[in-house]
Amino acid sequence: MICCKTVIGWGAPHKQGTAQAHGEALGAEEVAAARAALGWPYEPFDVPEALRAQWDQRARGAEAERAWRELLERYHEAFPALAHQFDRRISGARPASWPELAREALEAARQQRAAQATRQSSQAVLDRLGPALPELIGGSADLTPSNNTQFKGARAIGREGGNYLHYGVREFGMTAIMNGLALHGGFVPYGGTFLVFSDYARNAVRMAALMSLPVVLVYTHDSIALGEDGPTHQPIEHLTSLRALPNIQVWRPCDAFETAVAWTAAIEHAGPSAIALTRQALAQQTRRAGQQALVARGGYVLIDCAGPPECLVIATGSEVALAAEAVQALNAEGRSVRLVSMPSSEVFDAQEPAYRESVLPRSVRRRLAVEAGSALSWWPYVGLEGRVLGINRFGASGKGAELMAHFGFTAASVRQEIEALLEGESAEAAAAAALSAAR
């Protein structure tokens, strides 16, 4: 290959005249000299017949395909059950038992009562789905015990088969291999690392989005609450960065049930999904039967109020419980505040306008978004008159709970933000009343 810098003379010690002055890649004399040196007498874009014939592998390819199809036919005759599974997996179809499997996983998650880290909730879902989905092939970039990605019964890949890969400290390599498995077909690859290390795999993640590959990116330790590892390991901008990618669904569930919904949605999605999970235990949220079905829509009303809401609060992941405590306390005191849990803004944005309006009515201008990460992705939802309780600086080293309190992620802080919005509305109402009286 000829380097463009050498050709136009940027780095060459000679012949920098005409080609460099006119910005041409090669002059006519240089082209003629190159043809003579290579012994190439053919016109531009003229491929010699002898070379064309040498490159033509159609007959060889047709014979290889014929032999492969004969082998596949014999395989169908000898092992009909395995052949049927092969055909299903290559086609990308889920097993006939999938609806029941998904329902059982959701029901098991709904029964979870004790507080639980969503990385553990994720493993509980995998423990149910993994043994029944042979197309699942998992792994982790050196963090299996932390990511909780090896489900019960999963075996490391070796001479005797297996369905789990220990990738080592290779976030990019892991994601690139997952892309290759998805392109081959017959697999639903998933792999885990810390959310902050998604940076190392960024170009492979982008390629998964560009090619609409069904890979599941399991990202744990999703906020400053991971604690003592400090700012090098605490993701700040990463959720916003992933959401900025087209064609990827990012899920940040708040409890076991939302985690199960995220996993079932990721397996059904015809493109990449990222599931951001906590290190720390989270309380389980209470939902009515009707609300459970709405989780799959990406955003839904978790706590509503009597009458039209004065303020809308939007939260994700570990901050949902904080917001719920603040909203419930204010509503008990006679205020009207609605809490929306939005585990996936991409999925919510894809819903019909009427549903989105029912969750976030445009008439309510007082809005607060709460997420322990960059505030950037939330301004479209709260508008210029709203607020975002986020973190726009790097974290610090310390115990997770202490850091969350230090950076303002407490129920008391959420309440203060809501009250500030409501007081602003009251001030506007008083000013309008005074203006009306003056008239």
Which are the catalytic amino acids? Answer: 171
DSSP state of 196: G
CA dihedral 198, 204, 208, 213 (to 10 degrees): -100
The whole-angstrom distance between residue 382's C-alpha and the CA centroid of its chain comes to 22
Give the C-alpha distances (Å, rounded to integers) separating 346 from 361, 380, 390. 18, 13, 19
Q: What kind and span of H or E run contains 315?
A: strand 311-315
Strands 337-341 and 300-303: antiparallel
Q: How far apart are CA 101 and CA 260, in angstroms?
A: 11
Residues 6+ apart with CB under 8 A from 174: 139, 140, 141, 165, 167, 191, 193, 201
Closest CA to 362 of 373, 370, 374, 354: 354
Q: How far apart are CA 109 and CA 295, in angstroms?
A: 13
Q: What is the DSSP string of 257-301?
A: HHHHHHHHHHHH-SS-EEEE--SSEEPPPP--HHHHHHGGGS-EE
Q: How far apart are CA 435 and CA 427, in angstroms?
A: 12
Give the C-alpha distances (Å, rounded to integers) separating 85 from 10, 77, 92. 58, 14, 11
Find out whether 388 and 408 touch, Cβ atoms under 8 Å: no
Find out whether 386 and 364 touch, Cβ atoms under 8 Å: no
Distance between start and end Cα atoms, the chain: 80
The residue whose two tokens read 């092992």 is: 79
Structure token digits, residue 274: 């990222």
